[in-house]
Amino acid sequence: MATVNGSYLIARTLKEEGVDTLFYLMGGPDFDIVMSCQDFGIRTIDFRHEQAAAFAAHAYARVTGKPGVCTAASGPGTLNLLTGVYTAAIDCAPMIILGGASAVHEIGRDAFQEVDQVGVMQPLCKYWHRPTMAARYPEIVSTAYRQSMSGRPGPVYIDCGADVLYEEIDEDSAIKPTRFVKRSRPAAEPGAVQEAVEMLASAERPIIFAGGGVFFSGGAAELERFVDITNIPFYTAPMSRGLVPEDHAVSFQGARSTAMREADVVLVVGTRLNWMMQYGRRFPDGAKVIQIDIDAAEIGHNRNIDLGIVGDAKTVMGQMVAEAEDHQASFAGALESPWVVRLAEDNERRAAQSAALLNSDQKPIHPLRLCKEIRDFLDRDAILSVDGNEILHFGRQSLPTYVPGHRLNSGVTGTMGVGLPYGLGAQIAKPDKQVLVLHGDGSMGMNAMEIDTAVRHNLPVVTVVSNNAGWTARTPESRKPGRELGFTAFDEMAQSLGAHGEKVEDPNEIRPALERAFASGKAAVVNVIVEPTASGVSRAWGGSRME
């Protein structure tokens, strides 16, 4: 019988579960976890900061639908993962965190880097465990993987004490994990599906609002088919754009506020009525709401629901498609309905309002012109990561997404600094796709050293910095302490780290710069000097600013 240690058993089990990538920053006591993963053929990507490693693992999950796995050293290393764990938890994205820890048998003795990492991680994780014997690692890692994906997805945490990682045992004595061969998905009651479709068919102003539950269930195709049949205008949560292509006949992104303010029946699928949705008050008080969610506790959270359906989004939307196909006559003429015509006109009016800035030749460059050049350049299936303040609003208004999982941004948490790490995680997940990160200069500075990570691992992510020399737009009438940053030379920083880098000040040079950046075949930074006073004013998801 072979003698193995706890780290070996962790790596072996990850491989058995289908894990292909580990995100990390080196340190003890998890050195052997990384080396064992390499021995099992798992790709290992080391970062310059643990926070970025966790962000990248989150993005990997958001692009693939599979858990992102990360590890870090004990104490400060594992604690630095926390912000990334938080973003994944609030986003309901599956992630497995292997936290290096001081020896379990020395807990309470003030050991080196001893801290209650379980206590810190527990509020953000669906499942946690502190193994005390190496033999249980296969069982616990397999359970953690399953827990991260079951029901509503989310992060899970395993506290990996140094003594347990290095404990040696006979491989055959390790506890074998138990797994399911096949798994059914929770479906809706047929009567509830019929009622939901009839409510939508009889509505004058119906809309659909969908989110991450559709993506992680693999239900994007069913949602798109339902939209094709019914021609009901649809909207998604910010991190879920692309569930239905945004050039669909009933995609009216510029008329979002009108649609949500005037809808009379709303189908909410796999997403929460949180602060972004004003706790459900984005929809009129008199609107009837149908809510589909895998978590029964979410039905009716923050708002009264007229029809709640507990079930897997993919399964239930498949049922909805079948029911809608039987009632196609009820949806005939939807494209010519006064409701769809009104939203289309509102969408066109808002597009016309932006046209001058989208095509502006002004210097400094207006951010909307930058967005237009990016929009016109990118492949249809490109992955776009957007992070910042003003540029986040401008990008939301003007940059469409057509493929599920191909749009990443600060999401529900509003966490800044995610852009470049998200881009790296996305490129690792889908190396054959264009990946473009659109960063504000403030947020870029938070994890800019990950350019080095991209260079070292040959990740050809192109980062475009919308550089307005500060954290927000510059306004002479209001005080903004700490706003000024100066025009940071991120292009020169990129060059010094071995990446392609260039500065752009003329709007007509944006596209050529993008062409050169992607043609370089390596990590690249295009530092675009934009108008410092341009404010990305848009309706805050939870506030009162006007589009």
The DSSP output letter for 338 is H
Task: Identify the CATH homologous superfamily for domain 190-344.
Answer: TPP-binding domain (3.40.50.1220)
Write down the pLDDT at residue 180.
85
Class of domain 3-173: alpha beta
As annotated, the residues of the chain forming the CATH 3.40.50.970 domain(s) are 3-173, 359-529
Strands 168-170 and 3-5, how do they pair?
A: antiparallel
Query: Can you tell me the mean pLDDT for 134-138?
Result: 97
The DSSP output letter for 469 is S
Distance of alpha carbon 454 from alpha carbon 56, whole angstroms: 12
For 447, the 3-state DSSP assignment is coil
CA 50, 55, 35, 498 torsion-angle sign: negative
Distance of alpha carbon 211 from alpha carbon 157, whole angstroms: 25
Distance of alpha carbon 187 from alpha carbon 318, whole angstroms: 9
As annotated, the residues of the chain forming the CATH 3.40.50.1220 domain(s) are 190-344
Q: Could you tell me the pLDDT band of residue 97, with boundaries at 50, 70 and 90?
A: very high
The structure tokens listed for 276 are 């972004």
Instruction: Give pLDDT tens digits for 218-273.
Output: 999 999 999 999 999 999 999 999 999 999 999 999 999 999 999 999 999 999 99
Mean of all residue pLDDT scores within the chain:
94
Distance of alpha carbon 263 from alpha carbon 9, whole angstroms: 54
> Please, which residues bridge with residue 158 across strands?
98, 129
Is 359-529 in CATH node 3.40.50.970? yes
Q: Could you tell me the pLDDT band of residue 411, with boundaries at 50, 70 and 90?
A: confident
For 429, the 3-state DSSP assignment is helix
Query: Can you tell me the mean pLDDT for 274-278?
Result: 87
- The least confident of 12-16, 24-28, 414-418, 479-483 is 479-483
Distance of alpha carbon 1 from alpha carbon 293, whole angstroms: 48
Write down the pLDDT at residue 540.
37
Q: What is the DSSP string of 92-128?
A: T--EEEEEEES-GGGTTS--TT---HHHHHGGG-SEE
Q: Could you tell me the pLDDT band of residue 280, with boundaries at 50, 70 and 90?
A: confident
Q: Could you tell me the pLDDT band of residue 498, with boundaries at 50, 70 and 90?
A: very high
Instruction: Give pLDDT tens digits for 357-374.
Output: 999 999 999 999 999 999
Q: How crowded is residue 484: how many other Cβ atoms within 10 Å of its Cβ?
A: 11
Residue 545 has pLDDT above 60, yes or no: no
Question: What's the pTM?
Answer: 0.95
Q: Which residues of 255-287 are buried (b: 16+ CB within 10 A; e: fewer)?
A: bbebbbebbbbbbbbbbbbbebbbebebbeeeb
Instruction: Give pLDDT tens digits for 424-455.
Output: 999 999 999 999 999 999 999 999 999 999 99
Residue 547 has pLDDT above 60, yes or no: no
Residue 538 has pLDDT above 80, yes or no: no
Distance of alpha carbon 125 from alpha carbon 152, whole angstroms: 12
In 428-467, at which residue ranges do the beta strands (DSSP E only) sit?
435-440, 462-467
Nearest to 419 by CA among 427, 433, 409: 409
* Helix axes of 31-39 and 6-16: crossing angle, nearest 10 degrees: 40
Give the CA count within 13 Å in the CB-facing half-sphere of 334: 23
Instruction: Give pLDDT tens digits for 59-88.
Output: 999 999 999 999 999 999 999 999 999 999
What is the chain's length?
Answer: 547
- What order do you get walking across the sheet with 68-72 strand by strand? 43-46, 21-24, 68-72, 95-101, 155-161, 127-129
Which amino acid would we find at residue 500? H
Distance of alpha carbon 353 from alpha carbon 337, whole angstroms: 25
Write down the pLDDT at residue 537.
62
Residue 542 has pLDDT above 60, yes or no: no
Distance of alpha carbon 408 from alpha carbon 396, whole angstroms: 11
Residue 333 has pLDDT above 60, yes or no: yes
Write down the pLDDT at residue 480.
87
